[in-house]
Structure 1
């Protein structure tokens, strides 16, 4: 998994400047299953802690999604 926070200056993933006080940027891998396909993707999300990040991702991608590797990147 390539960390979003290490991309070059001006990249669409340069999240260092946009972090709200009290929040951190977390990166996770989400595996979404559907009857027609299965997709695995790396995502970034703003949250106060890893548990909140996991909960927000589960709400966004559904309870059947598999969320792994939740790590703080900023």
Structure 2
């Protein structure tokens, strides 16, 4: 990763909705969606009865919170309904 890309990263607190905030991880990524996908790729434990996981992403520096539904088979992310 280049220094320019690293400087564009923001700090996000990310957790799986079914696991709760006490399982949150700090993820450095440029966008809310990128942070959600990175969390699922590296850290999340999926619920056993679903093919998707709901991930809550909170911006630690600028504020704001978003929820994404990540399809565990395709890796596609979409806003929670």
* TM-score after normalising by structure 1: 0.51
How many residue pairs get aligned? The number is 49
Which residue is equivalent to 1:13? none
Which stretches in structure 2 are left out of the alignment for 5+ residues?
A: 1-5, 48-52, 62-81
Matches of 1:64 and 1:25, distance apart in 2: 23
Aligned CA-pair RMSD:
2.5
Which residue is equivalent to 2:25? 43
Which residue is equivalent to 1:70? 57
* TM-score after normalising by structure 2: 0.47
Match of 1:29 among 10, 15, 32: 15
Following superposition, which runs of at least 4 residues in structure 1 exceed 4 angstroms of deviation?
Answer: none
Matches of 1:24 and 1:62, distance apart in 2: 20
What is the CA deviation profile of residues 14-69 of structure 1, one whole-angstrom value per residue up to 9, with x for unaligned ones? xxxxxx3111000012368xxxxxx5401110001011001111101357254532
